[in-house]
Amino acid sequence: MRILSLRLAVATHLVVAVGLMAASFPDPPSVTVPTAPAAKKATVVLAGGCFWGMEGVFEHVKGVTDTEVGYAGGAKKTAHYEMVSEGSTGHAESLKVTYDPSKITYGQLLKIYFSVAHDPTTLNYQHNDRGTQYRSAIFYADEDQKKLAEAYINQLNEAHVFRSPIVTKLTPLEAFYPAEQHHQHFLDQNPTHPYIVNVDLPLIDALKRQYPDLYKK
């Protein structure tokens, strides 16, 4: 459920504050993910609150060639918005990011994920959305993705970049189920929706401000 209340503005300011720290946000550690020189396509599945905003951020990142919102972490039969919204399916609202490794690295995507796209220190909620379906999670496709994500989380925690420890779960990707069509690119189709205006557009503004070299219109 997309909850709007008087507390929404406060939550928005907190998210923007996370984005503001991006100017000095540390780069990923030197545990790089090897990619073949000819590789032109790779994917990563990320979760961090409402998938509308996650998609809105990453579709504006240079090197990202496609985005698709959906569900990960649960069974195929429960991969439906109404069921996932109940918070008992095991699914998280997720985003599959397809990117060109020759133009942007997996580590750079993680940097945006941790510093701009969501708050990785809040357990099972983002903004006023509550429930395990809004958890922070990286559904890794292979051991290389897992290794770099683990190293980066440890680095950020040890440097006390956030006031609280990162609670992002690292889970092997078993399946990704695309969400209903009306949720795909929802931000682009509904730019004046109150939730989009108050919560998601500030995230894109933070991306543009903090990472101008990675931002695309």
Total-model pTM: 0.87
The whole-number pLDDT of residue 94 equals 98
Cα-based angle 21, 155, 95 (whole degrees, multiple of 5): 70
Helix (H, G, I), strand (E, B) or coil at 35: coil
DSSP state of 25: P
Catalytic residues: 50
Nearest to 173 by CA among 56, 64, 113, 91: 91
The whole-number pLDDT of residue 30 equals 66
Q: Where does the chain have alpha helices with state H?
A: 8-20, 51-58, 81-84, 106-112, 143-158, 186-189, 194-195, 201-210
CB–CB of 204/57 below 8 Å? yes
Helix, strand, coil % over all residues of the chain, rounded to 5 = 40, 20, 40
Which numeric CATH code is attached to 8-210?
A: 3.30.1060.10
Per-residue pLDDT of the chain (217 residues; tens, 9 = 90+): 454 433 343 344 344 344 435 447 888 886 554 544 456 899 999 999 999 999 999 999 999 999 999 999 999 999 999 999 999 999 999 999 999 999 999 999 999 999 999 999 999 999 889 999 999 999 999 999 999 999 999 999 999 999 999 999 999 999 999 999 999 999 999 999 999 999 999 999 999 999 999 999 9
Residue type (1 letter), 161: V
Question: pLDDT by residue (tens digit) across 98-109?
Answer: 999 999 999 999
CB–CB of 179/55 below 8 Å? no
> In DSSP terms, which residues pair with 40 in a beta bridge?
none
> In DSSP terms, which residues pair with 169 in a beta bridge?
137
The whole-number pLDDT of residue 3 equals 46
What is d(CA 30, CA 23) in angstroms, rounded to the nearest whole number? 19
Angle separating helix axes 51-58 and 201-210, nearest 10 degrees: 30
Distance of CA 40 to the CA centre of its chain: 22
